Structures are given as C-alpha cells and as structure tokens.
Structure 1
Amino acid sequence: MANKNRQLKEAKVAEIKEKLEKAEAVVLADYQGLTVEEDTLLRKNLREAGVEYKVYKNKLVSLAAKELGHDGIVEFLEGPVSIAFGYEDATAPARILNDFAKDHKKLELKAGIVGGDIYDEAKIKQLATIPPKDVLIAKLLGSFKAPVSNFAYLINAIKDKKEAESAE
C-alpha cells in the first residue's frame, strides 16, 4: 500500500515538473474563500485564454520546483495555493488572475515563475499590465506599417506633382 502511494506521489511530482518546464509563466494564487460560482467563472476565463489552472498539494509542488531549481518559489507554497500555467502567452495567467482579483477580493496573487525567474506579488501585478501577445504583435505590425504607408504617400505625391508639371 505504501509503495503504491509513493508511486502515485512520484507520478504527480513528474506531472507538475512537466507543466512547470513547459509553461511560459506560472502564477500562484491564494483562492481560499472563493465561492463555487466564482471559482467556476475564474476557471472558465483562464481556460478561454489557454491557461491551465490546477490545485496540487504544496509538498508535491515544492518537490517538483526544487528538482527544477526553482527553490525560491517554495516559500510561497503556504496554505491553499492554486497554480495557473500559461503555455502560449506569458502575461495571460497574471493578467486574468489580477483582473479577477480586482472584483473578487478573496483571490490573492502570491508569486510566479516567468522565464525561470521568481516573481513576487508586485512583479506579477506589473506583468499583468502588459497587453496580450496578439495585441503587442498588432501594435508592432502597425508601427512597421506606418513608415511604409508614409513612404507610399510621399512617392504618390511626387508622382502627382510631376504629372501636374508635365501637363502645364
């Protein structure tokens, strides 16, 4: 019996390690006090953004984090802790949890891991202010487009001026 229990724990630790390695960003939050309806809404919002939201035993998360060299996150694994794993957009877990926490005071951001670095609550809240990846890409493309458009208008104005001069 004890051997089977150990195997189950080892499998969970391996699962957590895999998620930690794969994630662009990981955010820890204290969810104690949320109602079932609030938790369901939060999970829906996270799922729609491609963020995985889990609750694991702190001891198992601690073991996985230590094996990956993320010892600094262990101090935040106190009490009920939920974990949001962002695989595509590093800002999504922080942004969604932070926005949700504004209306639901029971949810508190604790810390996170972004790019292998440990972020405290203040840094996670700062990360939450960064727009989604697709918005940033659109802004970047818009900034590329502006000079090209201006150049095209300039060329067109020169062409119109030459045509007007040759018509005279």
Structure 2
Amino acid sequence: MAVKQYKIDRVAEIESRIAENAGVFVVNYKGLTVKQAQDLRKQLREVGAEMKVYKNNLARIALQNQEQPNLDELLVGPIAYVFYENEPVEAAKVLKDFSAKTRNVLEVKGGISEGKAVTADDVKAIAELPTKDQLLGQLAGLINGFARDLAVCVNGVSSGLARSIQQVSDQKAA
C-alpha cells in the first residue's frame, strides 16, 4: 500500500518545525472554544511560539526521524504541539496562565526541552523560572550594586587617609 503524498509532506513539515525550534510542548486542547484557541495562538505568537495540530501518528514518525525522545504516552487524544523558538520559559508561562484562566481546560502533558523529554510538572517548573531578560536585569543590578559598594569603600579609604594626615598635620602645627 502506497503512502499518500500529503502524509509524506506533513511529516516533512513537522520534522522541519522540530529542527528549526528549540523545543515543543504537547497540550491537550479538548474543550477549548475556537475563540479561546485563537486567543492562545495569539499569546504564543507574541512570545515566539506557535501552536499546531497534527495527527499523532505523523508526529510520532517525525519525532523518530529527528531522533527526539519518545513521547508515545503523551500522543493520545486531541493533541496540539507548541513549538518555541528560543527559550521555553515564556511559552511555558503562557500555557500555565492560559490553563489557569480556562480552569484547566487546556492540559499541558509534557514535551521536549533541550533534547530531553519533560513532564507536565517540569513544564510548570519551567514556567516559574525568570525569563532570560529578567535574569540579565538581575545580573546588571548585582554588578551595579557591587561597583557602587566598591566605589564607596575605595572613597572611604582615601578620605580616611586624608583625615588622618590632616590630624597629624594639625597636631604638629599646634
């Protein structure tokens, strides 16, 4: 039995998404309204992520072809795939917040991050992490604070030395 060309094309599309993105989260979207799905897709686009729906068997083949971890236990039922370009934190935050807003209609099942399979709990933990920009801001604040403290310390030593010299000079003059 010959494989239909559209299935081959779809597997190739999934493989290219896997190769082009840093990772993928698997979500169960059963129960979402069309409006909610559109809203979720919009929020994900704003953070550099994209939600796509593929047949689970085709996604399974694409994951195997790309030598990704086995997600067979997650690929059951109505599944959507959230591909993120760079870091997983912002996409995970959107999914977590959206799930809470819809009273858990959207269920995060797990996914792949940095080439390793992650569970739903892992995705929730990722959502709690600060973003890269937040970490850079915190680091800049620490460096700035350290530099300020060092300047105060160095200034204190030199002004203390100057006061000591002035006192010795005043004593000798008296």
Give the TM-score of the pair, scaled to structure 2.
0.85
Q: Percent identity?
A: 31
Please report how far the alpha carbon of residue 101 of structure 1 lies from its aligned counterpart in structure 2 after TM superposition: 0.3
Unaligned 5+ residue runs, structure 2? 168-174
Contact 2:29 2:107 (8 Å CA) reproduced: yes
| Larger-Rg structure | 2
- Residue 111 of structure 1 is matched in structure 2 by 110
Contact 1:65 1:74 (8 Å CA) reproduced: no
- Residue 77 of structure 1 is matched in structure 2 by 75
Letter in 2 for 1:55: V
- Residue 11 of structure 1 is matched in structure 2 by 9
Contact 2:23 2:113 (8 Å CA) reproduced: yes
Q: Partners in 2 of 1:71 and 1:29 — Cα distance?
A: 16
- Residue 34 of structure 1 is matched in structure 2 by 32
Structure 1 SS opposite 2:72: helix
Q: Partners in 1 of 2:88 and 2:22 — Cα distance?
A: 5
How many residues were matched structurally?
Answer: 166
Please report how far the alpha carbon of residue 100 of structure 1 lies from its aligned counterpart in structure 2 after TM superposition: 0.7
Unaligned 5+ residue runs, structure 1? none
How do residues 116-131 of structure 1 correspond to structure 2 at under 5 angstroms? 116-131=115-130
Q: Partners in 2 of 1:135 and 1:25 — Cα distance?
A: 21
Q: Partners in 1 of 2:43 and 2:93 — Cα distance?
A: 11
- Residue 132 of structure 1 is matched in structure 2 by 131
How do residues 138-157 of structure 1 correspond to structure 2 at under 5 angstroms? 138-157=137-156
Contact 1:25 1:93 (8 Å CA) reproduced: no
Contact 2:69 2:117 (8 Å CA) reproduced: no
Question: Could you say what the CA RMSD is over the residues aligned between the two structures, in angstroms?
Answer: 2.0
- Residue 98 of structure 1 is matched in structure 2 by 96
Structure 1 SS opposite 2:109: strand
Give the TM-score of the pair, scaled to structure 1.
0.88
